[in-house]
């Protein structure tokens, strides 16, 4: 089981991704256009941090007993990942609708595909 510090760091990255997905959702609903390039760069940076966090989780496997606090943190991470999945799916649908309504191609914005987030979820669970 990963250490508490590693889990806290991973949860923080997941929380930031959730906040960003929320901002993107709000932007798509209000402005009915793709997010600005600064938001997309921030998303790319967060996805890079997520990748690093996942690497840390894989490396930081301790063979100590799983404590109650660690189990609780793992549940928080799982919950946040599911929330990010749900919001990301909604954002992709909104972006597609906006793009189609304007006759534009969907942007090459980095997205968290459901398959990618499912892998993240599965790695966190195990």
What pLDDT, on the 0 to 100 scale, is given for residue 4?
Answer: 80
Q: What is the block-wise mean pLDDT of the chain (126 residues), using blocks of 10 residues? A: 80 94 93 89 92 80 59 86 92 87 58 64 62
Instruction: Give the whole-angstrom CA distance, residue 30 versus residue 68.
Output: 42
The residues, ordered by sequence, that sit 6+ positions from 41 with a Cβ below 8 Å of its Cβ are none
Domain ranges (residues) in the chain: 4-125
* pLDDT at residue number 63: 44
Residue spans of beta strands (DSSP E) within 1-126 = none
CATH fold label, 4-125: Methane Monooxygenase Hydroxylase; Chain G, domain 1 (1.20.58)
The CA-based dihedral angle spanning residues 28, 41, 86, 56, taken in that order and rounded to the nearest 10 degrees: -170
- Predicted local confidence at residue 66, as pLDDT: 58
Enter the tokens of residue 17: 């991704």
The CA distance from 68 to 5, in Å, is 14
Token pair for residue 74? Answer: 């793992």
pTM confidence score:
0.70
What's the CA gap between 5 and 59, in Å, rounded?
13
pLDDT of residue 27: 93
């Amino acid at each position: 089981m990963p250490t508490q510090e590693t889990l806290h760091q991973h949860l923080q990255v997941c929380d930031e991704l959730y906040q960003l997905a929320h901002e993107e959702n709000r932007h798509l609903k209000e402005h009915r256009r793709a997010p600005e390039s600064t938001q997309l760069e921030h998303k790319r940076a967060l996805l890079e941090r997520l990748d690093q966090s996942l690497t840390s989780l894989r490396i930081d496997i301790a063979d100590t007993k799983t404590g109650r606090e660690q189990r609780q943190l793992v549940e928080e991470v799982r919950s946040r990942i599911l929330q990010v999945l749900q919001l990301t799916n909604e954002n992709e649908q909104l972006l597609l609708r906006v793009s189609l309504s304007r006759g534009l191609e969907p942007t090459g914005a980095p997205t968290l595909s459901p398959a990618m987030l499912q892998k993240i979820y599965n790695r966190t669970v195990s």
